[in-house]
């Protein structure tokens, strides 16, 4: 048994090593990356904690609760459970005896195994990780709504101006518009979104329009004349091309941030998470479609396809790109950063509930099948060995998907969308 002093030494060594890693990452890439990595690890451990607490509450024996895989860096035993950290922080696990009917269990311990639990307890234990992802997403959504706020899509303000080559001022600056102005209406059209403003400006190249803005609590009426974008050059390139004139004022539009009250944030956080679940479910179906795999192979083998704007905005990404985007968002756009964390939790939660081993959904599917086949008090014992070909094929698909997305994320990273 590990002595108390050696255990304390191990904890101090682990803490010191972790601190050095954090300092190195901060020095090389800034403060945001260590924060993102910490939150990803916390998300994974939240998943495992869901399994842990439901197993304990169901009376199951939990022998291990570990962060990471591979060699053990530190561990301690409390009661019947060994807690610890392993070298490869690529996940975590909770070990409960008797996950299959082939595990050899001592007779006196049989009643506390997973396989001896009732169907509701099995289903809850297997689903608990994904349930925790939904709970974490709800908490993040609530915090974002109350403390961070979110862009109001029906209000448009001027975020910055475009610098036109050969012009001291662009059309918006010449008209007297200022950064921070909220645009109320344009040429008689009430502005309740980016699309209306953009349409009116683009269709009035060379024609004077009336722009009403709110500035410091007062409404100001200004006259502006959009310039044909084909004649405007920014950083050596024409802003617009084609045969028809396209009006430009030279503004970057933003949506002002609004905060939600403590009470109103409760239903709104559920709305946010529900919407994210719907989007993630559709994305998950798309990711596993044959057409998407064909597109991924084409992008992997064709650099031009991988570099295209369409590919970079629609392709699935690996955890590498998720961490990179979250890092960039944390430094530039905090509401989007929270949105990425919500989406990541929901996507991982849904992914884990796919009804195939070794995912959690596979255990729920097997437990459900055994319950349906049960007759009286005699439990039905499913032979999971028969699923081996399907499991191998499924894991192969996951590995191909992971390899393709990781390669694309490393070789052709998505351009920072916040610049």
Q: How far is CA 217 from CA 213, 214, 254, in A?
A: 10, 6, 18
Q: How is residue 110 annotated by DSSP?
A: G
Domain of residue 216, CATH code? 2.30.42.10
CA angle, 97 then 100 then 106, to 5°:
45
Question: What percent of the chain clears pLDDT 90, i.e. is strictly above it?
Answer: 56
Per-residue pLDDT tens over the stretch 353-401 = 999 999 999 999 999 999 998 887 788 888 888 889 999 999 999 999 9
Q: In the predicted model, is pLDDT for residue 259 greater than 60? A: yes
Residue 136 domain-assigned? no
Q: Answer yes or no: is 212 within a domain.
A: yes
In a domain, 192, yes or no: yes
Binned at pLDDT 50, 70 and 90, residue 200 comes out as very high
Structure tokens at 55: 């197993």
Residues 323-342: tens digit of each pLDDT: 999 999 998 888 899 999 99
Question: Where in the sequence is the domain holding 203, given as residue range(s)?
Answer: 156-255
pLDDT > 70? residue 272:
yes
Is the residue at 119 inside a domain?
Answer: no
- Give the lowest-confidence range in 212-221, 240-249, 280-289, 404-413: 240-249
Residue 222 lies in a domain: yes
Does the pLDDT at position 28 exceed 80?
Answer: no
What pLDDT is recorded for position 121?
96
pLDDT tens, position by position, 127-157? 999 999 999 999 999 999 999 988 888 899 9
Residue 115: other Cβ atoms inside 10 A: 20
Position 327 in a domain: no
Strand pairing category for 233-234 and 209-215: unpaired
Does 217 fall in a domain?
yes
In a domain, 55, yes or no: no
Query: Please, what is the angle between helix 119-143 and helix 265-287, to 10°?
Result: 110
Q: What is the pLDDT of residue 24?
A: 79
Q: How many domains does the chain have?
A: 1
Cβ–Cβ under 8 Å, residues 180 and 157: yes
- Tell me the H-state helices in 30-91: 32-57
């Amino acid at each position: 048994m590990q002595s108390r002093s050696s255990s304390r030494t191990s904890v101090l060594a682990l803490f010191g090593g972790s601190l050095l890693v954090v300092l190195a990452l901060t020095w090389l890439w800034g403060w945001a990356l260590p924060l993102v990595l910490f939150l990803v690890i916390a998300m994974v451990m939240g998943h495992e904690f869901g399994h842990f607490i439901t197993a304990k509450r169901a009376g199951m024996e939990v022998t291990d609760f570990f962060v990471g895989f591979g060699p053990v860096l530190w561990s301690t035993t409390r009661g019947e459970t060994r807690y610890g950290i392993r070298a490869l922080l690529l996940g975590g696990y909770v070990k409960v005896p008797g996950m299959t009917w082939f595990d050899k269990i001592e007779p006196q311990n049989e009643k506390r195994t997973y396989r001896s639990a009732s169907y509701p307890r099995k289903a809850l234990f297997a689903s608990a990780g994904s349930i925790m992802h939904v709970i974490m997403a709800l908490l993040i959504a609530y915090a974002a709504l109350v403390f961070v706020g979110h862009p109001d899509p029906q209000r448009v303000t001027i975020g910055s101006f475009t610098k036109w080559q050969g012009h001291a001022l662009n059309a918006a600056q010449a008209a007297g518009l200022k950064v921070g102005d909220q645009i109320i209406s344009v040429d008689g059209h009430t502005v309740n979104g980016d699309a209306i403003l953009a349409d009116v400006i683009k269709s009035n190249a060379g024609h004077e329009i009336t722009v009403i803005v709110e500035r410091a609590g007062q409404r100001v009426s200004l006259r502006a004349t959009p310039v044909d974008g084909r004649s405007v050059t920014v950083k050596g390139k024409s802003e617009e091309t084609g045969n028809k004139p396209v009006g430009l004022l030279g503004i970057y539009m933003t949506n002002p941030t609004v905060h939600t009250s403590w009470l109103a944030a409760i239903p709104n956080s559920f709305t946010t998470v529900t919407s994210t679940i719907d989007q993630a479910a559709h994305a998950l179906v798309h990711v596993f479609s044959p057409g998407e795999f064909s597109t991924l192979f084409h992008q992997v083998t064709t650099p031009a396809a991988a570099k295209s704007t369409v590919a970079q905005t629609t392709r699935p990404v690996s955890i590498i790109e998720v961490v990179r985007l979250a890092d960039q968002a944390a430094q530039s756009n905090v509401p989007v950063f929270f949105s990425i964390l919500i989406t990541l939790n929901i996507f991982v939660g849904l992914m884990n509930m796919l009804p195939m081993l070794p995912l959690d959904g596979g255990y729920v599917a097997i437990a459900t099948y055994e319950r349906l086949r049960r007759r009286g008090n005699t439990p039905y014992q499913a032979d999971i060995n028969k699923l081996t070909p399907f499991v191998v094929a499924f894991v192969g698909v996951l590995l191909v998907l992971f390899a393709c997305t990781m390669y694309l994320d490393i070789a052709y990273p998505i351009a920072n969308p916040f610049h």
